Amino acid sequence: EPEVTQTPSHQVTQMGQEVILRCVPISNHLYFYWYRQILGQKVEFLVSFYNNEISEKSEIFDDQFSVERPDGSNFTLKIRSTKLEDSAMYFCASRLYRGNEAFFGQGTRLTVV
């Protein structure tokens, strides 16, 4: 069964360092997303991506964040200069059509120390 895969599963980084979280969406899907979940809180939307450009981004997705689909299969989230409050689970999701089911990867737990 096709699935969204994310690497790494856990990343520990020092404050101020850059991190890149990687995702391989389901192969025929067209819409891609990053969400995050701070421990004990709800899943929050970060950014949506379609047709090689950002469709929408949340207030959380400031200038420190960027996304890229460099090669037609990978979808990456970069945080340029991490802060302690960036510590969270980051989930990549993809969907085939607008409005239908979105499937989530297993997540990357980011810990900023």
Residues that bind another protein (CB under 8 A): 33, 35, 41-45, 48, 55-56, 89, 91, 93, 98-107
* H-only helix segments in 5-74: none
CB of 18 to another protein, least distance (A): 24
Q: Which is nearer to another protein, 65 or 103 (CB)?
A: 103
CB of 77 to another protein, least distance (A): 15
Choose among 89, 109, 87, 67: nearest CA to 15: 87
Whose structure tokens read 């969204």?
4
CB of 29 to another protein, least distance (A): 13
Q: Which is nearer to another protein, 13 or 50 (CB)?
A: 50
8 upstream amide cis, omega within 30 of 0: yes
Q: Which is nearer to another protein, 81 or 98 (CB)?
A: 98
Residue type, 76: T
